[in-house]
Chains A and B, each alone.
Chain A
Amino acid sequence: MNTSTPKLPPIATLGPFIALLLACIFFATQSDRFLSLQNFSLILQQVMVVGVIAIGQTLIILTAGIDLSCGMVMALGGIVMTKFAADYGLSAPVAIACGIAATTLFGLLNGLLVTRIKLPPFIVTLGTLNIAFAITQLYSRSQTVTDIPEGMTFLGNTLKMGSTSIAYGVLLMLALYLVTWLWLRETAPGRHIYAVGNSPEATRLTGIPTDRVLLGVYVLAGVFYGIASLLSVARTGAGDPNAGQTENLDAITAVVLGGTSLFGGRGIILGTLVGAMIVGVFRNGLTLMGVSSVYQILVTGILVILAVATDQMSRKGVR
């Protein structure tokens, strides 16, 4: 069987980039404060949390799965790392590691339920979404944690770059996208993810351990959610138990807008970054235009339908 990454038809690959470009051109004509390096740096900062969550989500969606718990798990990670630092006086690196460990454990839980108990990912993560939310609320007693060490908010600080400044967290996000992109393209485990998404049965028959690949994807996604929770804490400067409530759908939106197919097996990780940027650009642009946030939600909905429709139409060509 040919296990090389399936080539996407041009429209699905270029579509997101074109959409982003058109959106930027539109907003540049509507507001003279849109087109600036500083504004773009701002937008990148605003999407960095969802952006990193969406890396994990992309991996899962590539296997034809889905993860509804990502936002709540991220919130749990944030509460664990901030409360561990505030309550037990742990140093920032140790507390951060604990937070990431917590989110990875949830990833493991999701993966085990999907691979061992053979439950559909939608159902599993619907359940773990609620479990993570409840644990976060109970453990934090619904109180925001503000007493956190300096080291934990470092990624929210910015680095001067020419005429603008860029947050360290954004640089981390971009680096993670680059590394994941290379990993998916060039390594065997990366290619296996596409193979499992394309056809789990055929993949299994060629001797690739499908269950292990799937489990690995959910655990790895958990790690990304942990990193995202650190970015969230760094950006807001606090451990917020009410964070992450809409991030699951935001992450799935970014993945879909980026051209990755919900049916698995096709998609480029960099497309997800573009998808996240599209949402951020609309939110920023509409605020600059003075348009209500309700319209941003409407536009996002329309774009999602267009993206999925494009994917469906291009699928007819390939198969």
Chain B
Amino acid sequence: MSEELCFSTISELSRLMDSGALSAAELMGAVVSRTKQVDGRVRAFNSFDEADALAQARASDGRRARAKAGGARPRPLEGIPIGFKDVISVAGQPLTASSRMLAGFVSPYDATVTLRLKEAGAICWGRLNLDEFAMGSSTENSAFGVTSNPWDLERVPGGSSGGSAAAVAAGEAIAALGSDTGGSIRQPAALCNVVGLKPTYGRVSRYGLIAFASSLDQIGVFARSVGDAALVLGSIAGRDRRDSTSVDAEVPDYAGGVAALAGSGRRWRLGIAKEYFGEGLDPEVGAAVQAAIDQYRALGCEIREVSLPHTRYAIATYYIVATAECSSNLARYDGVRYGSRSGRTTDAVDIFFKSRAEGFGQEVKRRIILGTYVLSSGYYDAYYLRAQKVRTLIRRDFLEAFAQVDAILTPTSPTPAFRKGEKADPLAMYLNDIYTIGVNLAGLPGISIPCGFTRGGLPIGLQVIGQPFKETELLAVAGAYEGRCDWGRRRPKL
């Protein structure tokens, strides 16, 4: 029974709690014991506070009882334990970005998404591992240990939000928040057989998210189903006065909108771009994605070829824009005001040099150096400015395609989960994000949903790319496929 709860969807759990058959405290207790049982092997969590989580759950039960007594509806996520990628701030909890630089740092304030989840009744459950400062595609760059893929503990869960994906996949959280700068939600979701939603840039406030690349970062959701992702998105989306880049667009009822679209029998026009099925695509992944496309066709959707010719510049463009922004965003970690300060310093400059030398890992340093270089006087026009122009072209490709189709279908990742230590070459690692990066550069919403397994039992993800601020349609397209298969209901053997 206990394990069953941990693999239920939010809507299933809400029904149980509404009926009085389950309390939030019981649910939290089940998730805590599941976590204690499996996380020694999965290592999804950097930390969690069992007593605090149970106290939050009891408070939730109190709210639910009061709402019931008053004849009010419970809050949309009442009593649901949600994990946090360790780059999203929860007041009073550690905030480390899986970096030595922030080891021991406890954040004094709530991110906007945290406030909104609390408002929705959710329980802020544990801190989830990631590649240091969200830089990586395997969670191997964490300063605190490597997370394992619950489907094969010898393999990586993807990244950078590997902890979030693994926790949901292993039943250690009902849903989780992550952040996606170049695929950091969608790729690990694909590799761990969960749903991973990256909303439109500006849809969800970034206030309280440790910045990697400000113009690309977006907070999103890991969930067990498309419906759950819609529920959580509905709670965190919307304009925030603390984030100037959050957009003042109405937040629709995503779950209701998806249900309405499903009932309308709408025939979706879906695009396939040849640029996403080229060299480097694992044949088993390609076959699974092709099978999913056939399913859509069988559902009555119209499948069209679209062209995204600037896709081949996406990785180069990304590694200029993202590193430039990160070189500046990470400058604040200097050992002066908070975080780790080297113990062997002689003066202020020495504090900077040594604290940063000791606090940051290799990949973070590599990107800071690259970013510093591309912004340097004399190189700015050739790199950063040109990259911004290419970025405009990439976005235009997508918008032109969306004149013909409602959404675009691609593989999420060119390969299934790879072995730990397999991609020691940074460039090989960077190529992992080849199908996800364009979405960030164009600021679009994207979702990865389970679409099958390799013969070796590794999960495969299908990416659906949507139009700006049309998350309802995106979720409906994803939901249409999800309803035809049960990949997402499978559980890893742990």
Task: Please say whether chains A and B are actual partners in one complex.
Answer: no
